[in-house]
Amino acid sequence: MSNIPAHELEPTIDHWFAQGSAAIGHDDAIGAFNRLLQLLEAGSVRAASPDLTSPTAWRVNAWVKRGILLGFRLGALADMSGVHHLGQAALSFVDKQTYPIRRFTPEQGIRIVPGGSSVRSGAYLARGVVMMPPAYVNAGAYVDEGTMIDSHALVGSCAQIGKRVHLSAAAQIGGVLEPVNASPVIIEDDCLIGGNTGVYEGTIVRSRAVLAAGVILTRGTPVYDLTDGSILKATAETPLIIPPGAVVVAGSRAITTGAGKHLGLSVYTPIIVKYRDEKTDLSTTLEDLLR
Ligand SMILES: CC(C)(COP(=O)(O)OP(=O)(O)OC[C@H]1O[C@@H](n2cnc3c(N)ncnc32)[C@H](O)[C@@H]1OP(=O)(O)O)[C@@H](O)C(=O)NCCC(=O)NCCS
């Protein structure tokens, strides 16, 4: 493991990233990448950090994403099925002998990422985080204290998840690596992200906000705030931002022009029906018992 001091890591990562494929096979490049993983896993380096001087209150550390991409460039396919822990196979399965698991080799050029629930290298999980299987936390993600990641939830690469967040079953939090996105999705403290939700493309969900089941948010999704009639949208400079305490439900709105109007169609639209109140707290307290 390289001992590059944290403050020298950014230029070192950028140096090796700029080398392109010429970095492959260089021990110093691998050393810098492994050091980045170490600092990401310790939570001391993050893909985005709180920064009150920035318009969104978050600063994106773009070099961290470059470092994570560097790791993909430097890595070769390897057989990872024999991963062991304390002298025993890390995972144990029992099933009908007539249906054994298919085996794959690196030569087949297929990647089967290990585990039913996996936390990939370079992700940070704070104490008290609970993960229900199957769930996946990708490289560079940061998940803070007391957060629950429920079954079939995805925490995409570099996503930043705050304290005491509930990512409900099948919540999908997009990553920055595919497709190419500049800023990670950020979910601030004490949010409830309901079942089957999707938060993508650098959207920021401010603290205590509630996304009801089925809400999907992307850069291109306008959000209608019924409390004051405003329409929230991403701009060229800022992502879509859900305000603190907003309660967002999945709605629809009529198409008012052209063929859509003629055919009587409507499109999906997230709607802020209110800001969090005692009733919302009641609706969302149940999961405290699960923690
Ligand atoms: C959003 C939620 C928390 C309810 O919050 P609440 O503060 O109790 O909401 P209220 O019941 O006061 O409803 C406020 C308004 O929004 C509407 N509303 C509430 N939930 C809604 C939903 N999911 N979809 C559409 N409209 C909804 C209500 O009808 C009400 O409208 P009205 O005033 O016109 O009657 C709840 O609907 C929800 O989605 N919970 C998450 C469930 C989940 O995913 N669990 C995962 C477990 S793994």
CB of 31 shorter than 6 A to ligand 1: no
pLDDT of residue 45: 96
CB of 250 shorter than 6 A to ligand 1: yes
Residue in the block written with tokens 């070192």 = 12
**pTM: predicted TM-score of the whole model, two decimal places:** 0.88
Q: Concatenated DSSP letters for 209-222? A: -EE-TT-EE-TT--
**Residue 212 Cα to ligand 1 middle (Å):** 6
Amino acid in the structure at residue 221: T
Q: Which one of 205, 247, 286 would you pick to mutate in the ligand 1 pocket, going by the greatest count of ligand atoms within 8 A of its CB?
A: 247
CB of 150 shorter than 6 A to ligand 1: yes
Task: Enumerate residues 6+ apart whose C-beta is below 8 A from 202.
Answer: 176, 181, 182, 183, 184, 185, 186, 219, 234, 239, 240
Q: Which one of 196, 273, 280, 281 would you pick to mutate in the ligand 1 pocket, going by the greatest count of ligand atoms within 8 A of its CB?
A: 273
- Nearest alpha carbon, ligand 1 atom 18: 249
pLDDT at position 67 over 80? yes
CB of 132 shorter than 6 A to ligand 1: no
CB of 151 shorter than 6 A to ligand 1: no
Sheet of 130-131: strands edge to edge? 130-131, 148-149, 166-167, 192-193, 210-211, 246-254, 266-275, 223-225, 230-232
Between 17-21, 130-134, 170-174, 240-244, the lowest mean confidence (pLDDT) is in 130-134
pLDDT at position 83 over 70? no
Contact 199, 225 (CB under 8 A): no
CB of 193 shorter than 6 A to ligand 1: no
Environment class of 46 (CB within 10 Å of its CB; exposed 0-12, middle 13-18, buried 19+):
buried
pLDDT of residue 212: 98
What's the average model confidence in pLDDT over 285-291?
57
- Nearest alpha carbon, ligand 1 atom 14: 273
- Inter-helix orientation angle 6-18/62-74, to 10°: 60
pLDDT at position 36 over 80? yes
Task: Enumerate residues 6+ apart whose C-beta is below 8 A from 218.
Answer: 198, 200, 201, 203, 240
pLDDT at position 85 over 60? no
